[in-house]
Amino acid sequence: HPVAIAGGGRGGDHLVAAEICPDSGELAVLDLALCFCARSQISDKDGVAILGTPGGSRIISMLLLAVLGLSEEQPLEALVSAPRLHHQYLPDQIEFEPEALTPSQVEALGAMGHRLQPLEHGYGNMQAIYWDRRANRVDAASDPRGIGSSVVSPAPGSILQR
């Protein structure tokens, strides 16, 4: 049972975890490799969204931002292309893409003691699919930062609309 998890493992793509061993009570430090790509499925009565992206320790932040966008009914293109920010315990700083934060937000966060790290380039390569159950329609979007494109092509005889 890990008691603490923090970023900052080898090459930035690992998490460091501390765990108390149940038998001896000693503290063990673990170096956990991160998944380099993850997908999430979110569904409710109105539809099903499938979101996926590579990104190591930033995957969780990217998926969280996309799920928040879904909750605000943003179009898929907006979910995959929105400017991103990321924070994890180690290093204790907020990384943010150009236009992810306004100058006043950067100033306010700095005044609260947060360390901010502006990034010159975007990160991630999010792909999104959404099935709108009400309209029986499938849409898809591909992150403009990455590679690939999205195409919805129903199988012959399918009842789904695109």
Phi, psi angles (nearest 5°) of residue 27: -90, 125
pTM: 0.74
Long-range pairs of 21-24 with CB within 8 A, sequence gap ≥ 24: none
Residues 86, 58: contact at Cβ < 8 Å? yes
pLDDT tens across the length of the chain (162 residues)? 444 444 444 445 555 555 666 677 666 655 555 555 667 899 989 999 999 988 888 888 999 999 999 999 999 999 999 999 999 877 889 999 999 999 999 999 999 999 999 999 999 899 999 999 999 889 999 999 988 888 888 777 776 655
Distance CA 28, CA 30 (A): 6
DSSP code of residue 92 = B
Integer CA distances (angstroms), 92 to 83, 88, 97, 108, in order: 20, 6, 17, 17
**What per-residue confidence (pLDDT) applies to 2?**
45
pLDDT score of 85? 95
- What's residue 6's pLDDT? 47
Q: Helix, strand, or coil here: 123?
A: coil
Token couple for 150: 């999205």
pLDDT at 66: 94
The single-letter DSSP state of residue 100 is S
**Quick one: pLDDT at residue 155?**
72
Q: How many CA atoms lie within 13 A of 143 on its CB side?
A: 22
Q: What is the pLDDT of residue 5?
A: 45
